[in-house]
């Protein structure tokens, strides 16, 4: 916490503001994501939590924002940080009904 205060003070003295990255949880249950669409800022993190009783494979093949979490067992959570702006289609490679859109703004 002390480092955050120091960074905020330095940003203030430099005439700027301090932007902290945010974290949001996305659940997976019933072969669905808990959100169909989510808007975040560049640098924010989505934590994909498998709340289901079966494995999922969360991934994106959107150019510039590709990732593949592999087989995610029930109860497992995995963070993904989005560093590039744009619209990212996220799917489960195992269950075609699992789709969500991540809108990343600058």
Dump pLDDT digits (tens) for 45-89.
999 999 999 999 999 999 989 999 999 999 999 999 999 999 999
Burial call 49-64: b when 16+ CB within 10 Å, e when fewer = bbebeebbebbbebee
CATH number of the domain bearing residue 69: 2.60.40.420
Res 18: pLDDT: 54
Residue 15 has pLDDT above 70, yes or no: no
> Cα 23 vs. chain centroid, distance in angstroms?
7
Looking at the domain assignment, is residue 10 inside a domain?
A: no
Structural domain count, the chain: 1
> Above pLDDT 70, what percent of the chain?
82
Determine the Cα–Cα distance for residues 82 and 40; give it in Å rounded to an integer.
9
Looking at the domain assignment, is residue 33 inside a domain?
A: yes
Residue 26: which pLDDT band, with cuts at 50, 70 and 90? very high
Looking at the domain assignment, is residue 37 inside a domain?
A: yes
Looking at the domain assignment, is residue 49 inside a domain?
A: yes
Task: Give the number of other CB atoms < 10 A from CB of residue 72.
Answer: 20
> pTM score, two decimals?
0.80
Looking at the domain assignment, is residue 5 inside a domain?
A: no
Looking at the domain assignment, is residue 8 inside a domain?
A: no
User: Which domain, by its residues, includes 68?
Assistant: 21-105
């Amino acid at each position: 916490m002390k480092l955050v205060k120091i960074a905020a003070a330095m940003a203030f003295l430099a005439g700027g503001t301090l932007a902290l990255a945010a974290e949001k949880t996305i659940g997976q249950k019933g072969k669905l994501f808990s959100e169909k669409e989510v808007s975040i800022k560049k640098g924010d993190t989505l934590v994909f939590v498998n709340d289901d009783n079966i494995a999922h494979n969360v991934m994106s093949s959107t150019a510039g924002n590709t990732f593949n979490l592999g087989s995610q067992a029930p109860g497992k959570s995995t963070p993904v940080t989005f560093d590039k702006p744009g619209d990212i289609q996220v799917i489960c490679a195992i269950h075609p009904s699992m789709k969500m859109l991540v809108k990343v703004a600058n």
